Structure 1
Amino acid sequence: MRVLIVALALFVLAGSCILSAAPVSSAPDGADFYSDPVPDLEAYEPGTIVRREPLPQFDVLGSHTERILYRSADPRDSAVSVSGLLITPTRAWAGPGPRPVIAYAPGSYGIADRCSGSSDLGLATTMPALLPLLAQGYQVVTTDYQGLGTPGEYEFLGRIASARAVLDSARAAAQRTDAPVALYGYSAGGVASAAAAELASTYAPDLSVVGAFVGAAPTDPVLRVDGQDGSESAATMLYTIDGLIGAHPDRADDIRALFNDRGRAVLDAAQDFCTIDALEYGPLRSEDLTVDGTSLGALMTGPALGPLTAANTVGFTAPAAPVMIVHGVHDVSVEIEQSRLLAHRWRVAGGTDITVREFDFGTELVPAFDHPAANAAAYPEAIAWIDGLVARRAEVCSTVCEFGEP
């Protein structure tokens, strides 16, 4: 099985490099699935599946794949519909207890609706990343996040919005059973997984969250922007600002006033960016985009953006469940200081079960390799870690839990 995991992980690595260059389509396939209103959405419980459609072309490794729309709650507690994927193995679960649910938080493909992970464009990258998990017989559910593909504003790396989207996707998969849930995310998805780990005990105490895998997660927004500033992917640093503008319309004018004409033009353009669009835009220096030449990182600690930045910084609430943090030492897409700071903050906050794994591939000459490579290399250890958590929970629950098969 370990050989199979490694082979699938290498396929994931290759796919992440190749499929990211897929041509951009004009809109998600089946736009009505995403945009048609759901009558009486408020009446449904969070996590309720309100729309679904089969995707038989993605029934891989003996599984049934569906695109789903489920009910969640935005940071203001209003009902919102969120799209994603639900992939259920058809063979019986051979492990202890009920079949585990992996609530998978995809990385960023961009902030335009057509970039959502369950769209045709997103599926090309999402599905390969799920193969090692599906090979284990886990049930896997993914989220597109609130407002990405569906109506509403997408708050990129928004702590509460992304956490709730992940946790409600887990509810959609677990379907009121006591199935163990593992949160799993890498890169931008790692932020969502980390945020969900922080909020699980208060927002979704009904879920049996056994652990959270957090890979190369830019959980500190200021560090993320500073790391991207001036790079080939610098346009992505504006995703956060666009998200804040959309999520806080009452502050939109104050935020936009921080930028000059060029900066506002890039902000507007970035709203329709997927990955390739951002890379093609080329390097930017934030000092050239602001009214007074102040860097974006500095502005994010100032009076207009500082409170919003603080609210979206992960690490100051200790997760109740065990966490595994993974990162590549030479990662230049998300610098390793992000994971080291996250582990430190969680420990200071009282976190006691935090595993940190750093991968050193010795790729100083090809540093961009480390970001996707650490994701692929971590699968065997992460899966063994999840299996251990599931077995431990099954042992504890052998006499006190009521199991059901999701």
Structure 2
Amino acid sequence: MQKQRIRPSRRVRRAATATVAAGALVAGLAVGTSTVGAADFYTPPAQVGPAASEPGVLVRTQPIPLMAPLPGRATRIMYMTAYTDDKPVAATGTVIEPLARWGGRGPRPTVVLGPGTSGQGDQCAPSKLMGVPFALDVAKPSLALNFSLPEMLVLLNNGVRVAVVDYVGMGTPGVPTFLNRAEQGHAMLDAARAALKLRDAPGDAPIAFSGYGQGGAAAAAAAELAHDYAPELNVRASHAGAPMADVISVVNKVDGTHDAGTIGYLLNGLTVRYPKVKPILDRELSPAGKAVLAGVAGQCITDTGLTYGFQRSTAWTRTGESLGQLIARTPELRKTLDDQRIGKGKPSAPVLLEASPADDLVPYATVRRLFDDWRGKGASVQLSDTGLPPLLPGTGLAHAVAKSPNVLPATSYLITALTD
């Protein structure tokens, strides 16, 4: 495999100064409250007709404040997407129209961003955090963070429209289905459709997908589902940083780390989509394990790390085996989790994968496997290694730090693809 070094384009490098300045401004902002607006925005209509249930249809919109560094106008949206079984469901997100002019040929392009793991509580929805870098709910207590600021800033400064998804069940009724391949991919693709409708953009306007961690998995899922699920979209490229492409491997990797509680996000999501999973977990989980699932259901990722960080899942099962061992000996669980593995399809547009061998949350070997799977199917795919040393293994620091040096190369890659 030839390792790729993606250098930022001249246009994107010009935006770097603005990014640094904005980062300093954000660092100086005081704690804010989330810009929820009307409390009932996130409650879908009780009845929706067949035409209004089509994927990508806008249900409602709401202008919302945007934090000072971001040069654009933000609109919170509710749009229709689909569950794993293709039944319709409403999801929410944010579309940001840049103030900058698009300097490329043709209509303004749209990049759909899949946020990294934000949590499972409704208060963690990214669309509630567009006016502030973070929001503290002292009553719960809960701390929600906005993880997508750097990418949004660079893209908007280059005149690219940005759509940020909340994912199915995040903010809206229901349980967020963490790392569900189909539902994350659907949410990304339908957000692209909704963003074009919101701005009355041409149907063939260029589209790209991007994300890191959970967002990388969402972008990768959208890339390989696009051809069949949304063939009308003009998808030019995707970027998937540290994609959580193999869920079983992720479970084994995060067990005992700062992010151990995210396994609870996964299991909560599986129980609401796969009927065979709940009775297995009811039988196999210990009282402590069941308490973890109940506890993480209303938390953001920061809360989960503080509450369940560095716990071993051996305490969560009745037998004392790890959840990875439980999955390995239970065919129904193994099949359900393997269904979420990304790499079984083929992207129809080029993809940039980025990963770090030192990542302490996402196994590097699984990203390399995704690269090999896609390349074996004839896809146009690059893999760029982030050359960082191990940083306090198990804390998630190496995973978090590896994102920063990739922001400019990734956005440059996408902007170049959207410009051509």
Pair 1:195–1:57, CA change in 2 (3 A): closer
- The structural deviation recorded for 1:285 is 1.0
> Could you tell me the percent identity over the aligned residues?
33
The amino acid that maps onto 1:278 is T
Q: How does 1:91-102 map to 2 (within 5 A)?
A: 91-102=100-111
Deviations 1:242-264 (A, max 9, x none): 11012224541223222111111
The amino acid that maps onto 1:370 is A
Q: How does 1:104-253 map to 2 (within 5 A)?
A: 104-120=113-129, 121=135, 124-175=146-197, 177-249=203-275, 251-253=277-279
Picking from 34, 38, 44, the partner of 2:42 is: 34
- The structural deviation recorded for 1:195 is 0.6
Contact 1:64 1:90 in 2 (8 A): yes
Contact 2:102 2:158 in 1 (8 A): no
SS at match of 2:325: helix
- 2:326 and 2:28 mapped to 1: Cα distance? 36
- 1:30 and 1:110 mapped to 2: Cα distance? 22
Picking from 277, 283, 292, the partner of 2:319 is: 292
Contact 1:16 1:125 in 2 (8 A): no
Give ranges in structure 1 of 5+ residues lacking alignment. 393-406
Pair 1:341–1:29, CA change in 2 (3 A): farther
| More moved, 93-102 vs 127-136 | 127-136
Picking from 307, 312, 320, the partner of 2:335 is: 307
Pair 1:68–1:31, CA change in 2 (3 A): same
- 1:220 and 1:8 mapped to 2: Cα distance? 36
SS at match of 1:109: coil
Q: How does 1:37-56 map to 2 (within 5 A)?
A: 37=45, 39-40=47-48, 42-44=50-52, 45-56=54-65
Contact 1:48 1:172 in 2 (8 A): yes
SS at match of 2:331: coil
- The structural deviation recorded for 1:370 is 3.4
Picking from 280, 290, 295, the partner of 1:269 is: 295
Contact 2:91 2:167 in 1 (8 A): yes
The amino acid that maps onto 2:384 is R
Pair 1:303–1:22, CA change in 2 (3 A): farther
| More moved, 50-59 vs 174-183 | 50-59
Pair 1:141–1:90, CA change in 2 (3 A): same
Partner of 1:278: 304
SS at match of 1:234: coil
- Matching of residue 378 in structure 1 with residue 388 in structure 2: no
SS at match of 2:232: coil
The amino acid that maps onto 1:305 is L
Picking from 6, 13, 16, the partner of 1:6 is: 16
| More moved, 382-391 vs 286-295 | 382-391
Contact 2:327 2:333 in 1 (8 A): yes
- 1:220 and 1:16 mapped to 2: Cα distance? 34
- Matching of residue 336 in structure 1 with residue 364 in structure 2: yes
The amino acid that maps onto 2:310 is P
- The structural deviation recorded for 1:339 is 1.5
Contact 1:112 1:274 in 2 (8 A): yes
Partner of 1:327: 355
SS at match of 1:183: strand
The amino acid that maps onto 2:264 is L
Pair 1:386–1:149, CA change in 2 (3 A): same
Pair 1:131–1:342, CA change in 2 (3 A): same
Pair 1:168–1:59, CA change in 2 (3 A): farther
The amino acid that maps onto 2:323 is L
The amino acid that maps onto 1:33 is F
Give ranges in structure 2 of 5+ residues lacking alignment. 1-10, 130-134, 136-143
- 2:70 and 2:320 mapped to 1: Cα distance? 53
- 1:41 and 1:146 mapped to 2: Cα distance? 20
Pair 1:24–1:41, CA change in 2 (3 A): farther
Partner of 1:83: 92
SS at match of 1:257: helix
- The structural deviation recorded for 1:335 is 3.1
Contact 1:12 1:376 in 2 (8 A): no
Contact 1:227 1:335 in 2 (8 A): yes
- 2:184 and 2:321 mapped to 1: Cα distance? 29
Deviations 1:337-385 (A, max 9, x none): 232121122223x033111111113454688443233322123222332
- 1:244 and 1:300 mapped to 2: Cα distance? 13
Contact 1:46 1:168 in 2 (8 A): yes
TM-score w.r.t. length of structure 1: 0.87
The amino acid that maps onto 1:95 is G
TM-score w.r.t. length of structure 2: 0.84
Contact 1:9 1:379 in 2 (8 A): no
- 1:204 and 1:16 mapped to 2: Cα distance? 36
